[in-house]
Amino acid sequence: MAKVIIFGASSAIAAKCAELYALRGDELCLVGRSRDKLEAVAKDAARAGSSDRVRTFTADLDRLEENGSLVERVIEACGGADEALIAHGLLGDQLQSERDFTEAERIIRTNFTSAISLIIPIANYFEQQRSGRLGVITSVAGERGRPRNYTYGACKGALGIYLQGVRSRLYPAGVTVTTIKLGPVDTPMTATHEKNALFGRPDGVARDIVSAMVARKAEVFVPRRWAAIMPIVRNTPEPLFQRIKALSGR
């Protein structure tokens, strides 16, 4: 039995991950903004695992100056931590972010700066403990800047680079850092997006995430088909890329 902390636990994907952790008998500490949503996730997880070993903590993860003490408080209340998953994110409004720095900064704060403000204290704790698994959800959008989502994509790409450094730093301590490069998933976060065959489902995506962390993988595309797709997107020469509407269009 492991002690698992999930940040952004009320998201559809994180909720499914929580159920999987509960099924294997883990003790869960769920952190999120909405108390009502967290309680619903906690009940589903407890039901899935036939266990009451689920705690909830309400917090706004965009309040960066509070995240260090938040991590310490959650770890202390849970009696330690063996695994942590950072799962919160915000697509934001790309067009608005091109014209208004306030929207750009909002996207950057949630998708990059907030994640780092959590990673630092978690990494320090695991390093001192000399064990632990950290998983962070990024995005395939971070593989290349595209007009439809480059503010969001830049955050996820930068986060991936940051995690490479953290992973190598923590390697001597026996700590695993898994970068989860997530493709589009059919969740409330993408409710206004036109769906196609490339969209994943929360339950399948959650299984891939938990499996990747258990296997201590460094980087993983989820769903797995994106591992074949993204090298093409990433490596297409820019003059050609700009002429292919499916890649460079809005």
Render pLDDT for 7-49 as a digit per residue (tens, 0 to 9): 999 999 999 999 999 999 999 999 999 999 999 999 999 988 7
Query: In whole angstroms, what is the distance from residue 230 CA to residue 141 CA?
Result: 9
Query: In whole angstroms, what is the distance from residue 250 CA to residue 245 CA?
Result: 8
Q: What pLDDT does 150 receive?
A: 97
DSSP SS3 for 250: coil
Q: What pLDDT does 246 receive?
A: 82
Model pLDDT for residues 107-148, shown as the tens digit of each residue:
999 999 999 999 999 999 999 999 999 999 999 999 999 999
C-beta of residue 93 within 8 angstroms of C-beta of residue 103: yes
C-beta of residue 60 within 8 angstroms of C-beta of residue 110: no
pLDDT at 164 over 80: yes
Query: In whole angstroms, what is the distance from residue 153 CA to residue 91 CA?
Result: 9
Model pLDDT for residues 41-61, shown as the tens digit of each residue:
999 999 887 567 899 999 999
Q: What pLDDT does 155 receive?
A: 98
Query: In whole angstroms, what is the distance from residue 179 CA to residue 164 CA?
Result: 8
Half-sphere exposure of 67 (CA within 13 A, CB side): 23
Query: In whole angstroms, what is the distance from residue 189 CA to residue 92 CA?
Result: 10
Domain that holds residue 153: 3-248
- The pLDDT-based confidence of 1 (bands split at 50, 70, 90) is confident
Preceding amide of 188 cis, omega within 30: no
Nearest residue to 113 via CA among 155, 68, 142, 152: 155
Q: What pLDDT does 42 receive?
A: 94
| Domains: count for the chain | 1
Query: In whole angstroms, what is the distance from residue 116 CA to residue 174 CA?
Result: 20
Q: What pLDDT does 48 receive?
A: 85
pLDDT at 249 over 90: no
Q: What pLDDT does 51 receive?
A: 65
* CATH value at residue 87: 3.40.50.720
Q: How many CB atoms lie within 10 A of CB 212?
A: 22
Strands (E), the chain: 3-7, 27-32, 54-58, 83-86, 132-139, 175-182, 219-222
Q: What pLDDT does 182 receive?
A: 96
Model pLDDT for residues 173-214, shown as the tens digit of each residue:
999 999 999 998 877 666 566 666 678 888 999 999 999 999
